[in-house]
Amino acid sequence: MYQKLVAYCLSKKGAVQEYPFGPETTVMKVGGKMFALLPVTSGDGAASISLKCDPVIAANLREQHACVKPGYHLNKKHWNTITADGSLPMDDLRAMIDHSYDLVLGGLTKAAREAVLMRIGG
């Protein structure tokens, strides 16, 4: 599951993979800002991913899904940590990644956002 999540994150325009906290945590960024964090796992078992989220949506997701918790070591109002154990369909995980990416991209300055989109051919 880890590889599928990383691959989907990297499919987003301008997404880059970094390891600023050490080799055990993959950080996905756009425009130099984090939109996803994933503890590195091997194999095809459960993985977890932390994603930025609108606070109201974040609270609703936590109420609806046991696998969605407040962000681990992150601002719990704006971040969720999701255990990708098969209880949520991949389409739902992709939608959460899309939401996080869109929030971060939208929060960039106009110049930074345009640089991301121009570099990729947006």
> pLDDT truncated to tens, each residue of the chain (122 aa)?
999 999 999 999 999 999 999 999 999 999 999 999 999 987 677 899 999 999 999 999 999 999 999 998 899 999 999 999 889 999 999 999 999 999 999 999 999 999 998 865 54
Q: Judge contact between 55 and 78, C-beta under 8 A.
A: yes
d(CA 35, CA 11): 13
Partners of 26 in beta bridges:
38
